[in-house]
Every structure is written in C-alpha cells, then in structure tokens.
Structure 1
Amino acid sequence: MHVLVCLRRMLPSRLAAFAVAGLLALSLAGCATAPATGTPVRLDETPRIAVISAFEPELTLLLRQLQTPARHRVNGVEFSTGTLQGKPVVLFLSGISMVNASMNTQLVLDRFNIQAIVFSGIAGGVDPSLHIGDVSVPAQWGQYLEVLMARETAPGRYTIPPRMEAQTLAPFGMLHPRPVETRTAASPAPVRKFWFTVDPRMLETARGLGPIALQSCNAGVCLTHKPQLRVGGNGVSGQAFVDNAAFREYAFKTFGANVLDMETAAVGMVAYSNNVPYIAFRSLSDLAGGGEGANEMVTFMNIAADNSAKVLLAFLAAWK
C-alpha cells in the first residue's frame, strides 16, 4: 500500500495510474498462483513408529541402536529415521514439558506417516511399592495439573465458583483436578476426559514381555535392589517437577498413580485426537520427594533412562 502511495506522488497522474494498475495485476496474479500452505509437507512416506523421549539422556541408548539413520530438521527439532529391532521408526526429543510434548507430537504426525507412538523416559515414583530403576508401563494417563484454583473463603477452606462442574477427584488444597476438553475428527463435539488410555494391543504386548536384563549400576552408581517391570495402573503428567512428599502421597491416593512426569498425558491426548495408538515406558529416576534425602534424579537418571529404553527395545522386538 505504501508503494502505491509513493508512485502516485512521484509520477504524473496518468503514468501513476498505469503503474498502480500493473502492480495490482501482478499482486492478484501472485495470489492466484501461490501454492496452498495449509497442509504440511511429508518428509517421509514410510509407515513408521514414532519413538519419543523428552531430553537427551533418555534417547542416548536408542540412538546408538538405530540402523540406517537419516536426519531431518523441522522447527529446530531433529528427527532421526531408521530401524530399531527391524521396525521402521523416527526418533526425536519432544522437549521437556506438556506444551513441548503436545506441540512436537503433532509435528511428527504432520510430517511423517506415523502408525503408532511409543515414549521412553524417566519419571518420579509415586506408588510406594515401586523403587528407583523400576520401569512402569501404565494403562492410562491423566493431567493432574489441569485444575481449577478455588477461592479461599475461610482459612483452609476453598470454594468452587458458581456454575462450575462438580469435581469428582479430591483436591489438593485450592487445586481441584478437572478433565480436559477434547475433540477428534470422528467426534467434533467437545468431550471432557481425564484419562487417556494406551492402546490395548500394545499394552498386552508389554504384559507378555519375557525377562529383561534391567540395569542396576552406571558409572559406579548402583541401586540397592534389582529393578522390576510393572505393566498396568495409572500415570499422571503436569507442568511441574515434583519433589514434595505431601503431593506424592496425594497423587497416589487420588489418582492411583504409579509415576508422574511432565509429558506423557499430553502425548496421549494428541494421540487420542489423531486416532493413533500409543504407549509409554517410564523408569523411576527419583521418588518425587518421597526419599529420605535430597532428590535422587541426577544420581540415578542414567540408570532409569537406559532401563526404560531397554524395555522399549524389547517391546519393539515383540510388537507385530
């Protein structure tokens, strides 16, 4: 628009009129022939399994095992295609947090031909019967920080605003967990859900895995027990690193959670919306505030990351 105004000022009126008409014609022609940009371009049409981790240590062992790797980069995210256990895969880091996980899970679905999603990573242990190094494979995941923050109307007493739906899950102080609104292509009307179940066939495959040699030591750091695999139960995710014994106890009592993390429920929601099967493998790097001393994550995260990856590799080998 500024160019047209300048032309009118600089040229005689008749020449300016011709110039303006020419620029408009070129502009309209460009609009008519510009390619549509609404559909993302696929980088690879091979049907693949998306293998996701949140940050580098969780993906290290899997990248070492990747056969015939090829790399692509979109929006700063590096995607590595190849095969794991004979299965075509694409490996990438979601980034830490629910927002990163949802954004980059949708990105891989848009840019690759994804048939299933598997997540491998570490987590905070919530179930007191689980130990650091154990691997949990929950049957469903929910978002514990999708909440209503209630008004404090008396010391220690909180009131939900009028017309808000009744809460079915117990609150933690002012925090009242709520289901999240979801839509799918098959069901465009909004539906509120708390739990996003993993694919039942994938879960059964995980249940049928034989003995897996899980790691007890790394770089001179060793666990005091032999790690175990636990398939089933619940997992929860939220935008917080939890190192609080009271909240850990609440999460176990309220959600029946085995573990909590910062990504999986977001991945589950994206998988649900896109009708893509998913499952997640999470190994305990710490006890989310339930240990006797300082948080254990930095000490044990490499053991936990490798144990989760080993279970995922066993799963891929068994998955039909």
Structure 2
Amino acid sequence: MAAKLMRKWLVLVCLLVVPAFSFPLKRWNSLNVIKEINRKGPYLGLVTVYPPEEKAFFATGTFKPHRTHPFVDLSGRRFRVGKIHEKKVIFVRCGIGMVNAAAATQQMLDLFDIQGIVHFGIAGNVNDSLSIGDVSIPKQFAHTGIWDWQNPNGTLDPNGIAHLDVASYNVPKDEGTNLLGRIVYGSEQFFSELGKPNTARLLVWAQTTKHWLHLADNLKIELERCVNSSVCLPRKPKLVVGLRGSTANIFVDNAAYRDFLVQTFLVSSVDMESAAVVMTSLSNGFPVIVIRGLSDLAGGQSGQNAIRIFGPLAALNTAKVVVQFIKALP
C-alpha cells in the first residue's frame, strides 16, 4: 500500500514539474536561435495583424525564407526570417487589438536586431474622398479608445480633448435625459527613450517617420481593382500618403460614430492596432510607418459591411505597397 501511494505521489510530482521546466527550455532554445539570427542583422521588422493579411503578403512571392533559420517561435507567435528584394526582414502576425500589437512590436524590438518597423493591414474607410481598395499611409495616429464615461449629472472635464454627448443621438430628439451621459476622450501617456525616466508626457497624435513618409510618397504602383472576374470596384484604387488614422479596440461599423470621428479628429481611417505599433516603436526610438488598405466604409454603407467581399483585395493592395516600399528603401 505504501509503495502504491509512493508511486502515485511520484507521478503527481512529475506532472507538476515537467511542464514547469519544458516551457523555459523551449524559450531558451528560441533565444539561442535568435542569437544566431541577430549575427546576420540588422533586419526590417514587419508587423501585420490577422491571417488574410498574412496570406496576401506571402502570395506576392517576394519573401525568401532564411535557409537555416526560416522562423523562430516565441510566446505563441511565429517570427519569420528572410529577405525581400535582398533586404533582410523579420515578419510577425501580431493578432487583433492594441495589446497584441504592442506586445508583438515590443518583443521584436527587444529581441531582434531591428532597424525599424513597417506595420500593415486593412482598415475601415471614414473619408468620403477615398474609396474601398485605396491604400492609405497616414502621417499620424490617435488612440481614440481612451474614454472617461461621465455621470449624466456630472460636469464636463475641462482636460478632455473631445467629448461625445450620447443624448445627441436620442430618437426622438426631445426624449429627455439619456442615462448614458457623455464620453470624454483623453490623451495617451507617452514614455520614451528620449524623455525623462518614469515620466510620461501627454500625447494625442503619434507621428510616423517623416523620411519614410517622403519615400512612400514617391512610390509608383498599380493597385488591383478586381476581387475576381465578376467582382470589381467601380474605379482603380490609389495610394494616398499623409492623412490621419484612428485606432481603438473597436471595430467601427456605425455611421453616426464614423461621422463623429471624422468631424472631431479629422481622421480618414479606423483600425485596431496602428497607434499601438507606432507608439511602441517611437517609445523605443525606432522609425515606423503604417500601410493600411481600405476594406470597408466603417458603417457608411447601406446594407452589410463590405469587408468580407473586399477585405482580400484591400489586403492584396496593401501587400503590394509594402513590397514596393521595402524595395525602395536605401
């Protein structure tokens, strides 16, 4: 009986101990591979978001994997190592949302020998002068998801950068007090290598890198107009450089909120990752650019959101611009 209890105890110990050591060993192996990869650096860091964007990127056929270390797995993400037009790159799909975007970008900057970050993917279009299929390379991004949701009887915060009064959308208009009150938008707290340690400055607009924007503005590229032989856009898409983008952990598919963002922040696109990538890159002192293909009208359409139809086309046009930008880099 004692021997049986002892055997059960040993099995339990093994079940508890083995997982505790297996993960650090796997991570240790990955870090050793990264050490080898960095000997051939520096690399350009490429960060996209979700599988359709990744698929469109690899469909260009320009990515040539590293012969001995084509990838390294770390914290559940696969960092792919290779070249595009003889430029050394490391590619990662970060996952949807600002936490994923910031975490993957920080990992890349901390662990790999990186010279800068190119972030790309699809986005919602909130600018009526642009169209689905166009590719936007904004000059700056705001995090429009920092809210102070106020008491309906409270006073307006004088430090808020903008506010949305929910009662303005009452139907009918004279319905009276709306218990949802108002949303007041706040600023980011920005920590930087160039700033004083442990001291943040307030930031609304995070700027992408000017000399990369200038380089992108000189790109000449033909963008695709058709999803297939039977589904085409009414006009040829274009590349636009120098607008504004909005980022929040919100998928915008609402015409009223779309209009509010345009009128209040003068943005042209909405997404869920870009501001996080830009702020993380700038915080660490690295150049960064964002390339976003417009896949839908963020609620400005009649009927269903167009992302399911034109998302792949927007991702393809984005990938084409990314490849041409990398080719144009000195």
Q: 1:186 aligns with which of 181, 187, 194?
A: 194
Cα separation, 1, equivalents of 2:245 and 2:116: 19
**Equivalent pair of 2:188/2:202 in contact (CA under 8 Å):** yes
Equivalences for residues 37-116 of structure 1 within 5 A: 42-43=34-35, 44-45=37-38, 46-63=41-58, 64-69=61-66, 70-116=70-116
Question: How much does 1:222 deviate?
Answer: 1.5
Equivalences for residues 209-288 of structure 1 within 5 A: 209-210=219-220, 212-219=221-228, 220-288=230-298
Cα separation, 1, equivalents of 2:149 and 2:137: 30
**Equivalent pair of 1:48/1:90 in contact (CA under 8 Å):** yes
Question: How much does 1:319 deviate?
Answer: 1.4
Partner of 1:218, secondary structure, is coil
Q: Deviations over 1:85-138 (max 9, x none)?
A: 221100110100011101111111112111110111100001111110000110
**Equivalent pair of 1:244/1:288 in contact (CA under 8 Å):** yes
**Equivalent pair of 1:221/1:300 in contact (CA under 8 Å):** no
TM-score, with normalisation over the residues of structure 2? 0.80
Cα separation, 2, equivalents of 1:152 and 1:99: 30
Partner of 2:104, secondary structure, is helix
CA shift in 2, pair 1:124/1:229, >3 Å: same
Question: How much does 1:165 deviate?
Answer: 5.4
Cα separation, 2, equivalents of 1:85 and 1:181: 38
Cα separation, 2, equivalents of 1:312 and 1:226: 18
Aligned: 1:159 with 2:159 = no
Q: 1:168 aligns with which of 153, 161, 169?
A: 161
Identity %: 34
Segments of structure 2 that go 5 or more residues without pairing to the other structure are 1-27, 167-181
What residue identity is the alignment partner of 2:304? A
Cα separation, 2, equivalents of 1:313 and 1:165: 45
Greater strand content: 1
Equivalences for residues 4-23 of structure 1 within 5 A: none
Partner of 2:109, secondary structure, is helix
What residue identity is the alignment partner of 2:56? L
Q: Deviations over 1:251-290 (max 9, x none)?
A: 1111111100000000011011101110011111100000
Q: Deviations over 1:37-90 (max 9, x none)?
A: 9xx774421101111110011122322321134111001100111111221100
Give the number of aligned pairs.
Answer: 274
Cα separation, 2, equivalents of 1:293 and 1:248: 15
Question: How much does 1:172 deviate?
Answer: 5.2
Partner of 1:61, secondary structure, is helix
What residue identity is the alignment partner of 1:218? V
Cα separation, 2, equivalents of 1:159 and 1:286: 37
What residue identity is the alignment partner of 1:104? A
**Equivalent pair of 2:126/2:298 in contact (CA under 8 Å):** yes
What residue identity is the alignment partner of 1:171? L
Partner of 2:164, secondary structure, is coil
What residue identity is the alignment partner of 1:215? E
TM-score, with normalisation over the residues of structure 1? 0.82
CA shift in 2, pair 1:215/1:301, >3 Å: same
Q: 2:218 aligns with which of 196, 202, 208?
A: 208
Question: How much does 1:217 deviate?
Answer: 1.1
Q: Deviations over 1:220-276 (max 9, x none)?
A: 421111101110010010001110000111111111111000000000110111011
Cα separation, 1, equivalents of 2:136 and 2:81: 26
Question: How much does 1:167 deviate?
Answer: 1.7
Query: Could you say which residue in structure 2 is the equivalent of 1:10?
Result: none
- RMSD, matched Cα: 1.6
Larger Rg: 1
Moved more, 51-60 or 282-291: 51-60
Cα separation, 2, equivalents of 1:265 and 1:172: 25
Q: Deviations over 1:166-201 (max 9, x none)?
A: 223343532222111121233122111011100000
Moved more, 41-50 or 80-89: 41-50
Partner of 1:257, secondary structure, is coil
Q: 2:300 aligns with which of 281, 290, 295?
A: 290
Question: How much does 1:295 deviate?
Answer: 0.6
Equivalences for residues 125-136 of structure 1 within 5 A: 125-136=125-136
CA shift in 2, pair 1:282/1:159, >3 Å: same
What residue identity is the alignment partner of 2:129? S
Question: How much does 1:218 deviate?
Answer: 1.9
